[in-house]
Amino acid sequence: MKMIGRILLALLLTWPLLTGISSSPLLVHWFANGGEGWNALSPVFRALGSDGGEQNEEIFVGILLVISFVLALVLSFAFFGLVGRLRHSTNR
């Protein structure tokens, strides 16, 4: 049951984290105007058989979603661990 709660919390946190990551000025600068970000991800694009253009953008959004979900999952595990530790310390 705890695992379902952790995953649900991670799913709820994924979108706010995605918004925060994608609006980061560093990320925007790195990918703006054909910047180095696209060059850094070109091996991933080639490995996935992208033809360029919109396919690259879809792959990039997918990568950001995966990163956001992993970060949200880490945060949800930390949150549940903290709540469990606080609950355990108050029961003594």
Encode pLDDT of 12-48 as tens digits. 999 999 999 999 998 888 888 777 888 888 899 999 9
Q: What is the pLDDT of residue 90?
A: 77
- Per residue in 60-82, pLDDT tens? 999 999 999 999 999 999 999 89
Q: What is the pLDDT of residue 29?
A: 87
Q: What angle do CA 75, 91, 6 make, to 5 degrees?
A: 20
Cβ atoms of 5 and 55 within 8 Å: the answer is: no
Q: pTM of the full predicted structure?
A: 0.81
